[in-house]
Chains A and B, each alone.
Chain A
Amino acid sequence: MKMSKTGTYFWQGNEACAEGAIIAGCRFFAGYPITPASEIAEHMARRLPQVGGITIQMEDEIASICAIIGASWTGNKAMTATSGPGFSLMQESIGYAFMTETPCVIVDVQRAGPSTGQATKCGQGDVMQSRWGTHGDYSAIVLSPNSVQEMFTLTVRAFNLAEKYRTPVILLADEIIAHMREQITVPPLKSIEIINRKKPEDGEKAFFGLEEVPPMPAVGEGFNVAVTGSTHNEYGIRFTADPTVHRRLVERLNNKIQNHVDEIADFESYNIDNCRIGIVSYGCTSRAVYEAVENAEKRGIKIGYIRLKTVWPFPEGTVKKLAETAEKIVVPEMNLKQIFYEVERAANGLAKIIPLNKIGGGELITPEELLAKVEEAEKND
């Protein structure tokens, strides 16, 4: 009736995301129907009231993200879920959540864009939107699950990072991971790390500075907190012309993420210090990598890979290490080159970066297509 019990389940990705959120402590969900993310809202609508939470369907995605921002300021954990078009509508308020240091989780189940595109088909075209979608100088934390299990674990991690760094965190899923069903294990609840935001002591007043991640009060606790998306000092008072206040605030907001890239940027890697060909992948596309690598090795190719579990911040150092060893790096993506340029930038000429792109109809890059690209790279010098 309450939490999902420890055990093995056969869940859909969206369902695993919702259950992960509940275990992470999410007690408020606001959303607007959109394929392929609607199941998260449906599941939350059924489940949240069972654990004392609330789900509300808002009039649009802008209202949805604003409602979760309000909910977060009551001291609760909150989430919304959408897909590309709705994600675009949320961008202004994602920047607001960043500026006001409001922890919240935004799930973007990617589909094939631009615009309405192919609404029911998979794509990975929102990678750059998830990093640069809002205006102004900001840093994003964006996680990329590649299995139903990770829809669960990375949703929990998204909440933990949001609470720890007091910032919005994006779970950048995709239609394939969100809609497929797989076996998933819910570990013993006690073994799951849950991080909660730091609360202020009585009499504390600086909720927007002094510390790298300041303590966060909730409304109704007597702290008289003034929250604003305008440039503000450490006490929340608007300073809309002072250059120092703006610099200090915006630099701190970015630094609190950029100074912790090693802790935030998570990835899976294999044989990266002993390979001639490397692969950098993420999300659904990375599922073709395992079989392709196995078959490449059977053919005697020295191969390794990095699979990004965090696309932003980008694990630049690790990709550079791969580029120091590998002569060539293949980057498969279901878009027209987005992470490709990031890999190229990190490699800085140390390795040749080879794109493998496929869009339309939700067709995955197959292990065979990836292997063919690897073999081609191996042959041509």
Chain B
Amino acid sequence: MTETFSVRKYLRDLKLPFCPGCGLFTVMNSFLKAVHESDHKNLSKFVFCSGIGCSAWIPSPYFIADSIHTPHGRSIPVATGIKLLRPDLNVVVFGGDGDIVGIGLSHFIHAARRNLDVLVIMVNNMVYGMTGGQVAPTTPFGTKTTTTPYGSFEQPLDATRLAVTAGACYSTRWTTAHPNELKDSIKKAIKMQGFRFIEVVSQCPTAFGRKAVFKDAGEMLKWFKQNSIPIQQAKQMSGEELVNKIVIGVFIRRKRPSLIKAIYGTIEEMQKNCRTRLK
């Protein structure tokens, strides 16, 4: 840990594709810092899976690592195939809100239910950014987007709470205004087993901010800071008080038998029984 941290050590020599002011720089930085502080000199013990959307480009192909850039919404099933056959590798999924809880929602719920041993980092910019700013399952009620020009008439999904209900071992939410808390959560999550979920509410000044009338990325970060409520405090507040607030913190941290343990345990048991019978 004496070596000073530099993102360059983990990145291919390519120009990053993100817009100026994008929250993905923060997420990338926090992740790599967490890796660095966890004493990983490189990413050789990791495999990254990501779907389609700006967030998917955090690892692919910029990380000097194995990365699989999957069809839209399918990063978690691809990660399932990898993890089941290479339980020794840290499988990390990066994705946006559209990728993970829009088109890929059922995989997200089932992976949490199975307690698949992967870490899912979902960057929630509350919009479909790459395609130009269409309404997402996470867009706050009333927000103007390119496909809700009169304001969104749907209620947004709380992915972090859903992960808890579905069975995740670890579920936490931060914003890009909380890079240190985010980094610490990633550090914890990397070491854990089972399904781990980290949501990062992030600014998309280009596609979300423009229509939702934020002047720039700084304005959005200020809004995140002012509207973030720690989960302990949120427990004392009414639903009405929490409208358009971002509840942050660790929603759950628990132990459940992980899929890898269960599946390999079952196979071992079966083989033992077969051997006994053969005697």
Binding site for B on A (CB under 8 A): 1, 27-28, 30, 49-50, 54, 56, 58-60, 62-64, 66-74, 76, 78, 92-93, 96, 219-220, 222-230, 236-238
Contact = CB atoms under 8 A, between A and B. Distances in A.
B77 A62 contact: yes
Given A63-B106, A224-B64, 4 more contacts: A56-B263, A70-B49, A71-B81, A229-B71
A interface secondary structure, majority = mixed
Given A49-B267, A222-B44, A67 B81 contact: yes
A66 B84 contact: no
Nearest to A95: B71
B231 interface: no
A4 to B, nearest CB: 16
Interface in B69-86: 69-71, 74, 76-86
B192 interface: no
A229 B70 contact: yes
B71 A74 contact: no
Interface in B8-60: 14, 44, 47, 49, 60
Nearest to A58: B77
Given A50-B274, A63-B110, A229-B69, A70 B80 contact: yes
Closest 7 CB pairs of A and B: A70-B81, A226-B61, A66-B77, A71-B81, A228-B69, A63-B77, A67-B81
Contact of B66 (A68, A76, A220): A220
B80 A67 contact: yes
Nearest to A232: B61
27 contacts: A49-B271, A56-B263, A59-B107, A63-B74, A63-B76, A66-B80, A67-B78, A69-B81, A70-B49, A70-B78, A71-B81, A71-B85, A73-B66, A74-B82, A74-B86, A78-B81, A96-B70, A219-B68, A219-B82, A219-B86, A220-B88, A220-B89, A222-B44, A228-B60, A228-B61, A236-B61, A238-B69
Nearest to A1: B274
A70 B278 contact: no
A73 B70 CA distance: 12
Given A66-B74, A66-B78, A70-B78, A54 B85 contact: yes
A64 B14 CA distance: 33
A67 B71 contact: no
A223 B67 CA distance: 11
